[in-house]
């Protein structure tokens, strides 16, 4: 029996030894870190854990405050949007009302101007008629004056805004 081994067997043995070496190095590293941890001291670690816990708690409280502020700002934005919508509705309603009133004014001002012109013409004609009646009544001719006198009185009363009888 020969003591020679094949290259493949040797390579497998080397690979197995390298793996065992890596495992042992990792174990040594772990054990060294445990030793380092023991040298730092448990009390220091507890203090660090407490400080980190306090920092986390403070961050949570800050986050809660920021969330509340964001919600408040969001509610204010919603309220402002609601007010803007109401103002736009009011503006639309008021614009429609202005247009309606403009149209109404246009429809009524022109007829009012025409009516005023007509009133002026009729007033001038009535005044001229009343003057003509007075001239006739003052004339030396014997004319039936009762109806003419009544017409002049009615005209003057109508002009003063009184009822005509």
Render each residue's pLDDT in the chain as its tens digit; 165 residues: 456 667 777 788 888 888 888 888 888 877 767 666 565 566 776 788 888 888 889 998 989 889 999 999 999 999 999 999 999 999 999 999 999 998 888 877 777 777 788 888 888 878 878 787 777 777 776 666 656 667 777 777 777 777 765
> How many CA atoms, within 13 angstroms, populate the side-chain half-sphere of residue 78?
6
What's residue 1's pLDDT?
Answer: 46
Give a yes or no: residue 2 inside a domain: no
- Phi, psi dihedrals of residue 141, rounded to the nearest 5°: -80, 150
DSSP 23-36: HHHHHHHHHHHHHH
Structural domains in the chain (count): 1
Question: What domain range includes position 75?
Answer: 41-159
In a domain, 14, yes or no: no
Q: Assess if residue 17 is contained within a domain.
A: no
Q: Does pTM surpass 0.85? A: no
The pLDDT value given to residue 42: 65
Q: What does the pLDDT read at residue 143?
A: 62
Residue 165, pLDDT score = 58
- Residue 44, pLDDT score: 74
Q: Is residue 142 part of a domain?
A: yes
pLDDT in the model for residue 142 = 66
Residue 136 lies in a domain: yes
- Whether 165 is in a domain gets the answer no
Following CA atoms 71, 75, 76, 81 in sequence, which dihedral angle do they give, to the nearest 10 degrees? 140
């Amino acid at each position: 029996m020969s003591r020679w081994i094949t290259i493949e067997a040797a390579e497998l043995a080397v690979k197995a030894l390298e793996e065992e070496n890596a495992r042992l190095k990792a174990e040594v590293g772990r054990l060294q870190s445990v030793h380092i941890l023991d040298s730092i001291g448990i009390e220091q670690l507890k203090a660090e854990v407490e400080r980190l816990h306090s920092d986390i708690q403070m961050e949570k409280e800050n986050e809660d405050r920021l969330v509340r502020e964001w919600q408040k700002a969001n509610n204010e934005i919603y309220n402002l949007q609601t007010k803007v919508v109401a103002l736009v509705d009011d503006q639309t309603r008021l614009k429609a009302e202005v247009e309606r009133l403009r149209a109404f004014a246009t429809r009524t001002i022109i007829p009012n101007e025409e009516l005023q012109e007509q009133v002026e013409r009729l007033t001038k004609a009535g005044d001229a008629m009343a003057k003509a009646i007075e001239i006739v009544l003052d004339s030396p001719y014997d004319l039936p004056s009762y109806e003419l006198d009544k017409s002049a009185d009615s005209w003057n009363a109508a002009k003063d805004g009184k009822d005509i009888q």
